[in-house]
Each structure stands twice: as structure tokens, then as C-alpha cells.
Amino acid sequence: MQDAAPPRPYHHGDLRSALLSAAEAELAERGMEAFSLRSVAKRAGVSHAAPAHHFGDAQGLLTALAAEGFRQFLAAQSAREAVAESDPASQLVAAGMGYIDFAMARPTLFRLMWQSNRPDFDIPDLGKAARAAFHHLVDQVAKAGGETTADEAAVWALAHGLADLLASNRLRGVGALDPAARDEMLAGIIRRALPGA
């Protein structure tokens, strides 16, 4: 992770992952639109053209970052499911909570993944990771007894809407609650979209 204190080694050692970390940090600090490839390189302590060898261009870097994001997004859902009751409805709500957890913890990365057209979803690595991530919630709907397209859309849209509004800090009445109370309220809301609730 941390490279040596003396003048920077010519060969970084693990520049690829260092650039990904630097890119996410830059995104979080300066925002999606002010993102600059040269700033990322500077933050990683490397010349402005170094990223090219690992990612091709800026889109390549953001594509790789988004793919990594989708994998961690799926992990956030799984983490919630692991500590929830095992019945299908509880698992579905847990997946939705993980969806929201991720959006609140890393709002700019969430935006890169969902609202930006800079990542290239035709790159197989990202395409696969993205589909796996946002199909997971929909799959849970079927296990919980959902049968129609409307059931899938309702649960997904509700979780996504909560996540997006919370990530941009527009649901102040909810975001200001302490975590436990917030969790309970959000779980109650997600349950409204459940089939037969």
C-alpha cells in the first residue's frame, strides 16, 4: 500500500490499485464533474501519463473503478443478508438495506456506477459485474413470492430511489436519524413494495 519514503521508486510496484484508490478519493473530494486524470496521477505520486499504461485512458480507469464498485456493492448486500433472518422476505429487505448502505457510504462512487456515462458498460468486466449486482435484488423478489414485472420494478425502484435521495442528502428527515432508527424506518418502507404486503 504505502510506498517508500525516499525519492519515489521509478517502479511503483502496485500502481494499478494505487490509481484506483486515488481515483475514488479524488471523486469523493472533488466530485464527479471535476474529476481529472492528472490529479489522480499526482495524488498517486506519479507522472500524468502513467495511468495510460494500466488503463488506456480516463474512461478505462473509470470503467475499472465502476466494476470494482459493483462488486463491493454486491458485497454490501450480502453483508446485510448474512445477519438477517433467513426467510425470503427478510432476505429481500436486507438486500435493499445493503443497497442503501453502499450509496450512503460512498455516494460519489454510487453516482459513477448509476448516473454517469463515462464508464463503458460494453467492457465485459464491468458489464458482468453490473448485471450481477443489480439483478441480485430482482432475484430476491422472485424468492419472496414476487411474480410480475411490477413486483420487480417496485422493489428495485423503491430501494434505488431511497439510495439515490439519501446519497445526495435530500431526504434530510431520514438521513438525520441515528442508524438504528433509520434502519427500522427504511426497512419498513421497503416492505411496502413487497408483493402481498
Partner DNA sequence: CTCCTATCTTGACAGTGTAAGGATATGGGC
Partner DNA sequence: GCCCATATCCTTACACTGTCAAGATAGGAG
Residue count, binding to a copy of itself (CB under 8 A): 34
Rounded to whole angstroms, what are the CA distances from 146 to 9, 87, 155? 56, 14, 10
Rounded to whole angstroms, what are the CA distances from 40 to 22, 45, 162? 6, 9, 31
Q: Which grid cell is 68? A: 470494482
Among 52, 132, 138, 174, binds DNA (CB under 7 A): 52
Torsion of CA 181, 184, 189, 190, to 10 degrees: 140
Residue count, binding to DNA (CB under 7 A): 25
End-to-end Cα distance, the chain? 48
* Residue 28 beta carbon to a copy of itself: minimum distance, rounded to whole angstroms: 12
Which of 2-10, 12-20, 84-92, 150-158 is the region at the interface with a copy of itself (rule: CB under 8 A)?
Answer: 150-158
User: Could you list the residues that contact DNA (CB under 7 A)?
Assistant: 8-13, 15, 35-39, 41, 46-50, 52-54, 56-59
Q: List residues near a copy of itself by CB under 8 A.
A: 31-33, 111, 114-118, 134, 149-150, 152-154, 156-162, 164-165, 168, 170-171, 173-174, 185, 188-189, 192-193
